[in-house]
Amino acid sequence: MEIKSVMSKAPFAALVVLAAFSLNACSSQEPKPDDAMVRAKTAVDQAVTGGSAQYAAVDLNNAQTELQGASGAQTKGDYKQARYLAEDAEADAGLALAKTQAAKAAEAAKQVQQGTQALQKQVNQPNNPPQR
């Protein structure tokens, strides 16, 4: 009788194990990359506003393309790929903004240097007015 009892419980045990594996598979699905998407969009917007189209167009274009890809992957439910692309977009947008800020700083430094040189020229000129 004991063997019959064990045999009748075997299908139930198999069902329990199968259910456990199914639940585990559901819980291991990637969470939606909403936070990564927001950070990437914000970074791209900041790069655009900062003037990266003029100073770092390639990096900005890469960031925008990756953000579009991330959006598409998220729509398809490929959250892992969406997160990956969103993180890349954020990094490229940050790079574009950094290059833009560096270029603007270099331009400002050049203008200051030119102003200093012009002032130095004026200081070095003799104070005697030209003769008529």
User: Cα dist. 77→21, 48, 83, 110 in Å?
Assistant: 21, 28, 11, 50
Q: What is the pLDDT of residue 30?
A: 81
The total of other beta-carbon atoms located within 10 Å of residue 59's CB is 21
pLDDT value of residue 121: 85
What pLDDT sits at residue 12?
Answer: 59
Cα separation, 30 vs 43, whole angstroms? 23
pLDDT at residue 123 in the model: 83
| pLDDT given at position 96 | 98
pLDDT at 131: 63
Regions of the chain short of the pLDDT cut 70: 1-28, 128-132
Phi and psi angles of residue 126, each rounded to the nearest 5 degrees, phi first: -65, 150
